[in-house]
């Protein structure tokens, strides 16, 4: 996968603890964490882990209102 293609994707984590750790390591990204249930109709996703975490790159399909997919965790 080319760097330009990956740069156009959105970073998400499959595991809550990985998202929490990322927020701690990079406080400039913010401390709020949201969750979503994404499926194939929402776009393409591929694991892009670093340091063994659950980082995933998501490319939403055109027309997907990304913000409507996410909510605060219970």
Strand order in 55-60's β-sheet?
A: 10-13, 55-60, 43-47
**Entry pTM:** 0.85
Alpha carbons 20 and 34: distance in angstroms, whole number: 10
Q: Using one digit for the tens of pLDDT, what is the confidence trace for 10-62?
A: 999 999 999 999 999 999 999 899 999 999 999 999 999 988 999 999 999 99
Per domain, the residue ranges of the chain are 9-71
What pLDDT does residue 13 have?
A: 97
| Residue entry with tokens 């156009």 | 8
Alpha carbons 72 and 52: distance in angstroms, whole number: 25
- The SS3 assignment for 19 reads helix
Alpha carbons 22 and 25: distance in angstroms, whole number: 5
More confident residue, 6 or 21: 21
């Amino acid at each position: 996968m080319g760097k330009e293609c990956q740069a156009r994707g959105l970073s998400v984590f499959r595991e809550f603890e990985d998202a929490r750790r990322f927020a701690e390591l990079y406080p400039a990204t913010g401390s709020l964490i949201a969750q979503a249930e994404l499926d194939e109709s929402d776009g393409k996703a591929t694991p892009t882990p670093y340091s063994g975490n659950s980082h995933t790159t998501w490319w939403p399909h055109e027309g997907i209102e990304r913000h409507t997919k996410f909510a605060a965790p219970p």
